[in-house]
Chain A
Amino acid sequence: MKRIGVRLAYFVRTAWRGLRASPVTSAVAVMTIGISLVLVGAFALLLQNMESLLDKLGGELHVTAYLEDGLTQGQQQEIAHLIGTVEGVESVSLITKEEAFERFRRGVGRGSALLEGLADNPLPASIEIALVASRRSASGMAMVVASLDGLDGIDDLASGQDWVEGYMRAVALLRGLGVGLGAILALATLLIVANTIRLAVFARRDELEILSLVGASHSFMQTPFLLEGILQGALGGGVALLLLFALFRVVLPGFEFGLELVLGGVSPRFFALGESLALVATGAGLGLFGSAAAVTGGWRT
């Protein structure tokens, strides 16, 4: 056990010495990993937030049935009752013409003075239809809309169906792009780390020759390089995390409007601790694979 501790200390010391021996190449590798992970991380952040918007919207998805003008209150309530019995409908609530107007006035706020001149209330009465959980999706909504279509007294049916479908497609597209970009960047990062470590092996060939002559095993000679790769990767992951956080805090608030557009009411959320660690671990993993590719070619003594 003691031996293992002694070895580990030696490996860490040697890896650290290796990093410091070539600060420029090491820094380039760290920054490359960092920038790659910033790009991938930014995608992940965007997707994560867009998905949480979808989740949130899921609970609020509803279908609105606009009623024909001229129906009596009793008729309106009858229609609402009828809709309430349709499969997939959880609950209904009737919005009268007056309520609709009141909502609109409040929504417009200060500009409401403009509405004073309006002689007639142009807004129709409507019925807000909440869906059971299993129908809270684009296709679920489509089914409910289809079974309400053509019902007497209903002028028009509106749902977020098209919008939700588009949004889901956008999320899927972004995810695909993110995965593709991630794969390309991972490959580039691996190549850069492998190259950096290969240079380090070359720079230390005298040391390796002597180590081999005094009886060092391959793994004894290789481990510090693997650790060096892991260190570079983890540092790159840390750099990426800091950059992402800075972007999130400093740059994002400047794009409030655009953000509102993609995220709706959801306030943007940064990575949690576990996800942050995963980003650093991804860097470390890339570093490990890159350096492993560099050193497992085997070297001659």
Chain B
Amino acid sequence: MTLDLELIAMALPLLATGALVTIKLAAVGVGVGLPLGLGLALLRLAPNRLLAGLGDGYAGLFRGTPMLVQLFILYYGLAEVPVIRQTPALWWFFRDALFCAGLAVVLNTTAYTSEIFRTALRAIPQGQIEAALAVGMRPWTLLTRIRLPLAFRNALPVYASEAITVVKETSLASTITVLEITGQAKRLMSQTFGILEIFALASLFYLVINLACLGAFAVLERRQARGMRP
């Protein structure tokens, strides 16, 4: 097989446009999903049984159902609900495939992120918390100065995996007409016969994004590990 340069020249700009959409979706997933996931982790650790139960329920629901099905519900399913069609703000949102995809990504990664940080928060040795309480720290100070920094250090390697999972999951958005990398590749596939080339190129785009992402996390990790190794 020879490389079809003409095909590649045609595909590259389209896939690059798709990559921008992929990056946007993933950035929203990490940017919104990380704080929400942290919040959900804290909720799930709340002493209040009802609040913790609600948090657990949310995490269970989104971890226990496929994201593809969630996407279809958000984009195709909700469009059939009269209240949503009749409320301008809701309809403006749910009519848009990109918004629905972004929402699905956020809802999902929030659930997984909460699991990661719940574990990390619980792994903090009780003595380190007691040392903070014993000097008179308020709960908020304890959280921001001690618990969160320590949880981040514990969670970072696992969260890096979650972040690249988010990047890969955005490809599902192609099933609801969003033209991210996979969406563009599918469109190109129907116009040409270089299926292998096109998807190999698409893979390359994902790979570059994810390697950059992993690299960024590795730098963060190295910085945070400073001094923490024996």
Q: Bound pair: A and B?
A: no
A residues near B, CB below 8 A? none
B residues near A, CB below 8 A? none
